[in-house]
A and B are shown apart, each in its own frame.
Chain A
């Protein structure tokens, strides 16, 4: 293995060794959401006329799990190794900032996607959404995981304490995912909140992902693809820059 492959492998191994916590737990959480919300709202919420609420919920929960876990992986790995001091083992190596970027983002995408597949497999027992356009499913899963993994990398570099990281996660990532249409179609919202939702980049990830299942979405998948793609490029440029200058990791 070359340098970046080793770092990628090490990061995958890191979360895999504690997979009960990093994979099984988020799958269970998502399934609980499905059971509770599905049971309570199945008969009360109508989405896209022909789709059951539980079936509508599945892609949203899958994508939410992908996003939250991709973010959690890179951010928690970095802050842990910063606080424990073991980041020095990577800092002393000849690995370039690109190697860091590819390894941390790549491994976090793997975690997000593994959890996403786990949620999907388990929820398949309760509801079976269609697969109208599988390529869109794959594209948005990858883009969403990549964008959040990169945001996690930036947050992990920025945060000096677990508190700061928890604040970023609880006050930015979680509200933006919950308010992006995981549990509802934004068409059910008043016009003002519909407009606000369109300002949330997370909305486009979930909406585009859902399009792949049902062939229906609140907005065009091409628009979603453009917005999510541009957002990922933007945060990637920032992340690579921070790694290149050694932001908060090299004095």
Chain B
């Protein structure tokens, strides 16, 4: 039985401009013990999907099962199995950290939970803040409390909705160390993040959402392998020639140019030489998840794949059915008929 099963989830919002489809026929199974990443640009539907899972929103159609419990008809059992870290930095100003955790514990009917609360405080670096009022904590500390609140009833499935947005490096390290440990101990983790290097480092499998649809779904390693060619990366202060500027990804001084083969790399270099571009720290590297992400989001990959096929991409424990990035690689057969997992 999957830890989480999204079955044909659609969500339509009524807006002044007419109905808006935030999610469109999402099929997705997350297996027990997975560290699963949900990626997508702002407005892709990630938080809406998480909200439907957590019972904060209702799907317009379809259903979600958490270890077999329907999040609507059997919500109490489903919610007991979920620990959700919300995206917004929210807190109850009336209570201190320990009170907040005890109260959250009580909502789930967990009594005498101080030993586990102490362990959470210790592991999240909150031990010396146990009696501090929530209002007195910095943003990073509040974020840690949110994580502790989500874990206080020892849920088998942990859902983290952009938990590292705007937090410092130290907290990110603490958080990932702790969550990775929980995952090793058997917890299923569902993560949404904007930090693609985090997803690449942590997630065994990744789904990419775009405009309410899954546009890529596979093992992280397979996604990376499927990404086409190489990246030519260098630093420069000189303007690029127009032909290269059109295909380049520029971040400050750093320029990245996708290249399918050696000939294309040569052609890029020739273009740079002719234009007299002053190049430093040049390297040729394999595409990372950010490259894959941008390829998928730009629509150069996967956009022409029927949705059912995407839904049926390989999950752990199943025969690999092929990488979903259709445009990315020739050796990635896309199944012609896909069934929802």
Contacts and interface: CB of A to CB of B under 8 A. Distances in A.
Contacts of A95: 107
Contacts of B80: 94
Contacts of B56: 88, 91-92, 250-251
Contacts of A195: none
Interface in A130-177: none
Interface residue tally on A, bucketed by range: 20 to 34
Contacts of A3: 106-109
A84 B79 contact: no
B94 A9 contact: no
B253 interface: no
B149 A89 contact: yes
Contacts of A36: none
Most central of A3, A94, A246, A250 by chain B CB within 10 Å:
A94
A220 interface: no
Contact of B92 (A6, A89, A91, A92): A89
B55 A86 contact: no
A86 B111 contact: no
Interface in B107-138: 107-109, 111
A250 B58 contact: yes
Contacts of A85: 86, 88, 90
Interface stretch (A10-18, A40-48, A64-72, A232-240): A10-18
B90 to A, nearest CB: 4
B57 A17 contact: no
Nearest to A95: B107
Nearest to A94: B76
Interface string B71-92: 0000111011010101010111
B108 A10 contact: no
B57 A251 contact: yes
A7 interface: yes
Given A86-B90, A89-B104, A250 B109 contact: no
B96 to A, nearest CB: 10
A1 interface: yes
B91 A7 contact: no
Contacts of B7: none
A85 B88 CA distance: 8
Interface string A79-120: 001001110111111111000000000000000000000000
A13 B107 contact: no
B293 to A, nearest CB: 27
Given A251-B57, A251-B58, A13 B94 contact: yes
Nearest to B91: A86
A162 to B, nearest CB: 16
A78 to B, nearest CB: 13
B57 A92 contact: no
Nearest to A103: B107
Contact of B79 (A1, A94, A250): A94
* Closest A-B pairs by Cβ, 8 of them: A6-B106, A251-B57, A94-B76, A85-B90, A93-B107, A86-B92, A94-B79, A10-B103
Interface of A: 1-3, 5-7, 9-10, 13-14, 17-18, 81, 84-86, 88-96, 246, 250-251
20 contacts: A2-B109, A3-B106, A3-B109, A6-B103, A9-B103, A9-B106, A84-B92, A86-B93, A88-B90, A89-B103, A89-B104, A92-B79, A92-B84, A93-B79, A93-B104, A94-B75, A94-B80, A95-B107, A96-B76, A250-B57
